[in-house]
Structure 1
Amino acid sequence: MPLAYWCVLVAALLPLVWAGYAKAGGDVDNHCPRDSTSDLPPKHRRAYAAHYNAYENFPFFAAAVIVAVTQGAAISTVNLLAVTYVALRVLHGLLYVFNQSTARSIVYGLALLANIAIFVLPAFR
């Protein structure tokens, strides 16, 4: 199984890391966790925002990897770009938590470019 598929698994689980950190920051009512996030300290509220952002960006990444692998893109390049994407998404979450908005936006853009590159790779084989 390609390394890129393992990266899809990591990217699928990454939102849970941010949500776990967010919930560890205060008293979150698990019956209605979204309602109680406003009571969290700022760093943990930002972790919850990173959680949402990771979920929002996951479908395109998963689709891009599947398209690239099934359409015959060079697997070594797909793997490299997938690892790069996951590393950038981890960094994005950390920058979100530590309130580095400009750097976070730059990293977001780089991860998006890596994802687009994965998706279009088969066109260049």
Structure 2
Amino acid sequence: MTLAEICILIACLLPIVCAGIAKSKGFGKPRREGGFDNHNPRSWLADLQGWQARAHAAQLNSFEVLPLFIAGVLVAQNHQAAQHTVDALAVAFIVLRIGFIWAYLADRANLRSALWALGLACCIAQFFV
């Protein structure tokens, strides 16, 4: 397994981590006290505020970029691009995504947008290496 393929697995887990962060304040509380509602999770998530709402938005955005990242890595490897370049772009993407999630949680909108754009550039670059 290449480092880029390990990064695919990490990228697939990042939305789950964001979901856990979004739901974390609701764990262990009864529904009537605002705890996580597993019967209506989407409604519960839609009512989140503050950093929890931003964690949920980071989850959604992480799912949205996932197909492009996976496709980029696989296309680069399929075209036999230099593996060290594919790995470097994949690691850069993961580092940028972790920074993106942190910036989202910290409500650093401009930094978040810059990190998102750089991560997108890593994905697109995979198609041309």
TM-score, scaled relative to structure 2: 0.90
Are the aligned partners of 1:23 and 1:44 in contact in 2 as well (CA < 8 Å)? yes
* Per-residue deviation, residues 40-98 of structure 1 (Å, max 9, x unmatched): 34101110000000000000000100000111100000000100001101110111111
Are the aligned partners of 1:16 and 1:51 in contact in 2 as well (CA < 8 Å)? yes
Say how many residue pairs are matched: 121
- What is the identity, as a one-letter code, of the residue corresponding to 1:87? V
Q: Look at both structures and tell me which one has the larger radius of gyration over its CA atoms.
A: 2
Q: Confirm whether residue 104 of structure 1 aligns to residue 112 of structure 2.
A: yes
Aligned-pair identity in percent equals 42
- What is the identity, as a one-letter code, of the residue corresponding to 1:78? V
TM-score, scaled relative to structure 1: 0.93
| Separation in structure 2 between the aligned mates of residue 100 and residue 76 of structure 1, nearest angstrom | 32
Counterpart pick for 2:58 among 47, 50, 57:
50
Q: Confirm whether residue 10 of structure 1 aligns to residue 10 of structure 2.
A: yes
Give the CA RMSD over aligned residues. Answer: 1.0
SS at match of 2:21: helix
SS at match of 1:53: helix
Q: Which residue of 2 is the match for residue 85 of structure 1?
A: 93
Q: Which residue of 2 is the match for residue 24 of structure 1?
A: 24
Shift of 1:30: 1.4
Are the aligned partners of 1:25 and 1:41 in contact in 2 as well (CA < 8 Å)? no
Runs of 4+ with deviation above 6 angstroms: none
* Per-residue deviation, residues 16-61 of structure 1 (Å, max 9, x unmatched): 0000010012322112211012443410111000000000000000
Which runs of no fewer than 5 residues in structure 1 stay unpaired?
none
Are the aligned partners of 1:7 and 1:83 in contact in 2 as well (CA < 8 Å)? yes
Counterpart pick for 2:73 among 49, 62, 65:
65
